[in-house]
Amino acid sequence: MFDNLTDKLDKAFHILKGHGKITDVNVADTLKEVRRALLDADVNFKIAKDFTTRVKDKAIGSDVLTTLQPGQLMVKIVKDELTELMGGETAGVNLSGNPSIILMSGLQGSGKTTFSGKLANFLKTKKNKKPLLVACDIYRPAAINQLHVVGDQIGVEVYSEPENKNAVEIAQNAIKHAKANGFNVVIVDTAGRLAVDEQMMNEIANVHAAIQPHETLFVVDSMTGQDAVNTAKAFNDRLDFDGVVLTKLDGDTRGGAAITIKSVVNKPIKFIGTGEKMDAIDVFHPSRMADRILGMGDVVSLVERAQEQYDEEEARKLQKKIAKNEFGFDDFLTQIQQIKKMGNMKDLVGMIPGAGKALKDVEIEDDAFKHIEAIIHSMTPSERSKPSIIDGKRKIRIAKGSGTKVEQVNQLMKQFDQMSKMMKMMQGGAGKNLMRAMGG
Ligand code: GDP
């Protein structure tokens, strides 16, 4: 996410770090580089200029030149300003109605339908809601089908009327259906066009007026940079929406949209989409995003994800096994499944402070555990529970069965061994405290 911008900002701060003595000249140079980095990230000129002016004023106010660690202080000022620019506080979605009605808007291809599914899934699994998805695209039968496919995937009912060409009517009927059948959230996916046009705007404005949603979200593809900001403006002028959803942040996005959209339309970014799968949705936290942009990772989100997957019962069982020296490859496999549930590897690595930068040229496969899983699956149950019986002959068989090389099997055995030893150590005093601190 935003690798290029992170890189450039890092270089800008280096101007300060590299000097024994800080002068107003190298502070000015740093700010010039910060501005250039923002412009390269597709932040518009005025916003970038105002930004660096504010940073400069703050830096002067806090006497950057005379502090012991001017570089760090500058990073902090930039971080605070970035957070402010992206909205300051985290903004939630309004779920006050019963049912709460959420209207989705945006151009075709922005990721609206995908996001409707993600949001339904999020509300169902994390907020205990019973959502109904509504297909209101009256032009493209394929769009209706797509929503049904998404609904099936996540086990959420989809309301559609394929023969009806009146979007307002469909939306109204869907709300009636929701009320009669105990749905407490209605998510209305509307038709999009490739570009902003009058007919589309009228149609969605009519639906908006008729169903009076509690929450209107505007979905936009972050890869489109300044265009995303312009489209947001056009939709906001008509719909006065409540919040923005930025999709495709997993791609090679420059970051301009994330940084500027709030200050242009004065509406917060509420969610981000980070992949095509139904769980690739995150609540947008301006301060965590600023951390990520500045290459500081996002430990809070990482720990949150770990906690979501944390199963007390399982953890207790695991501890017992470790204590009795019974930790085997089946347990290892379970651990891998849990890590995989936390999200894709690239995304997770990006949350570790410094790791994103250190590994930016390393190709991380989405399914980084593929080989490990194949190797373990090729082991017999007794080999999995008692790895010490795996001798040379068995290794050859396992490598063959899993389509890997003996070296890879060896490597896994070694990693497993180290991990078992480390876990055993964690059982001791210091480790226990650490595990407790992490919610264990
Ligand atoms: P709609 O026309 O606005 O309903 O857009 P779709 O939901 O059909 O999405 C368009 C394309 O973008 C599809 O291929 C999606 O799989 C893809 N997509 C949507 N959201 C994301 C995202 O967050 N990340 C990535 N990489 N792809 C996405």
Total residue count of the chain as it appears in this document? 440
Q: How much distance in Å is there from the Cα of 413 to the middle of ligand 1? A: 40
* 92 in any annotated domain: no
* Pocket around ligand 1 at a 6 A CB cut-off: 106, 108-114, 192, 247-248, 250-251, 273-276, 280
CATH of the domain at 16: 1.20.120.140
Please indicate, yes or no, whether residues 79 and 112 belong to a single structural domain of this protein. Answer: no
231 touches 14 (CB < 8 A) = no
Kindly give, in sequence order, each residue whose CB lies less than 8 Å from that of residue 27, ignoring residues fewer than 6 positions away.
Answer: 16, 56, 59, 64, 65, 70, 74
Atom of ligand 1 nearest to the CA of 107: 3
Q: How much distance in Å is there from the Cα of 24 to the middle of ligand 1? A: 46
CATH of the domain at 132: 3.40.50.300
254 touches 4 (CB < 8 A) = yes
Binding site, annotated residues: 106-113, 189-193, 247-250
Please indicate, yes or no, whether residues 140 and 287 belong to a single structural domain of this protein. Answer: yes
For position 304, what pLDDT does the model report? Answer: 73
* 381 in any annotated domain: yes
Please indicate, yes or no, whether residues 254 and 366 belong to a single structural domain of this protein. Answer: no
Alpha carbons 155 and 251: distance in angstroms, whole number: 27
For position 181, what pLDDT does the model report? Answer: 96
Q: How much distance in Å is there from the Cα of 248 to the middle of ligand 1? A: 7
Atom of ligand 1 nearest to the CA of 274: 23
Domain end marker among 296, 330, 358: 296
Q: How much distance in Å is there from the Cα of 318 to the middle of ligand 1? A: 39
Atom of ligand 1 nearest to the CA of 272: 23
Token duo for residue 276: 């095509």
3-state per-residue secondary structure call for 12-73:
HHHHHHCCCCCCHHHHHHHHHHHHHHHHHCCCCHHHHHHHHHHHHHHHHHCCHHHCCCHHHH
Measured by CA distance, the residue closest to atom 16 of ligand 1 is: 276
Please indicate, yes or no, whether residues 11 and 152 belong to a single structural domain of this protein. Answer: no
Q: In the chain, what is the straight-line distance between the N-terminal and C-terminal CA atoms, in Å?
A: 30
Measured by CA distance, the residue closest to atom 20 of ligand 1 is: 111
Domain end marker among 58, 85, 112: 85
The count of domains in the chain is 3
| SS3 state of residue 408 | helix
Q: How much distance in Å is there from the Cα of 372 to the middle of ligand 1? A: 30
Q: How much distance in Å is there from the Cα of 125 to the middle of ligand 1? A: 21
* 204 in any annotated domain: yes
Atom of ligand 1 nearest to the CA of 251: 26
- The arrangement of strands across the sheet holding 281-283 comes to 158-159, 131-136, 185-190, 100-106, 215-221, 243-247, 269-273, 281-283
| SS3 state of residue 247 | strand
349 touches 305 (CB < 8 A) = no
* 253 in any annotated domain: yes
Please indicate, yes or no, whether residues 116 and 64 belong to a single structural domain of this protein. Answer: no
**Which stretches of 255-317 are assigned E, i.e. beta strand?**
269-273, 281-283
- Phi and psi (nearest 5°) for 3? -55, -45
Please indicate, yes or no, whether residues 430 and 307 belong to a single structural domain of this protein. Answer: yes
Atom of ligand 1 nearest to the CA of 112: 3
Strand partners, 273: 281
Measured by CA distance, the residue closest to atom 27 of ligand 1 is: 276
* 220 in any annotated domain: yes
Q: Which residue has the tokens 């890997």?
A: 404
For CA atoms 317, 323, 326, 330, give the dihedral sign. Answer: positive
Domain end marker among 296, 315, 341: 296
Please indicate, yes or no, whether residues 140 and 266 belong to a single structural domain of this protein. Answer: yes
For position 357, what pLDDT does the model report? Answer: 61
- For each of the chain's 440 residues, which pLDDT tens digit applies? 777 888 888 888 887 776 656 677 778 888 898 999 888 888 888 899 999 999 888 887 776 666 666 777 788 888 899 999 999 888 889 999 899 999 999 998 899 999 999 999 999 999 999 999 999 988 887 889 999 999 999 999 999 998 898 999 999 999 999 999 999 999 999 887 777 788 888 889 999 999 999 999 999 998 887 888 889 999 999 999 999 999 998 877 778 888 889 988 999 999 999 889 999 999 999 988 888 888 776 666 777 777 777 777 777 777 787 777 778 888 888 878 877 777 777 677 777 766 666 666 666 666 668 888 899 999 999 999 888 899 999 999 999 999 999 999 998 898 888 877 777 776 654 445 445 544 44
For position 208, what pLDDT does the model report? Answer: 94
Binding site, annotated residues for GTP: 106-113, 189-193, 247-250
- Phi and psi (nearest 5°) for 276? -85, -20
Q: How much distance in Å is there from the Cα of 113 to the middle of ligand 1? A: 7
Please indicate, yes or no, whether residues 291 and 309 belong to a single structural domain of this protein. Answer: no
Atom of ligand 1 nearest to the CA of 189: 4
Instruction: Give the amino acid at 223.
Output: M
Please indicate, yes or no, whether residues 275 and 401 belong to a single structural domain of this protein. Answer: no
Residue-wise over 218-247: b if at least 16 C-beta within 10 A, else e? bbbbbbbbebbbebbebbbebbebbbbbbb
Please indicate, yes or no, whether residues 63 and 132 belong to a single structural domain of this protein. Answer: no
For position 174, what pLDDT does the model report? Answer: 96
Measured by CA distance, the residue closest to atom 5 of ligand 1 is: 111
Residue 234: half-sphere exposure toward Cβ, Cα within 13 Å = 19
Please indicate, yes or no, whether residues 277 and 406 belong to a single structural domain of this protein. Answer: no
For position 205, what pLDDT does the model report? Answer: 92
Please indicate, yes or no, whether residues 309 and 430 belong to a single structural domain of this protein. Answer: yes
232 touches 218 (CB < 8 A) = yes
User: In terms of residue numbers, what domain contains 234?
Assistant: 100-296
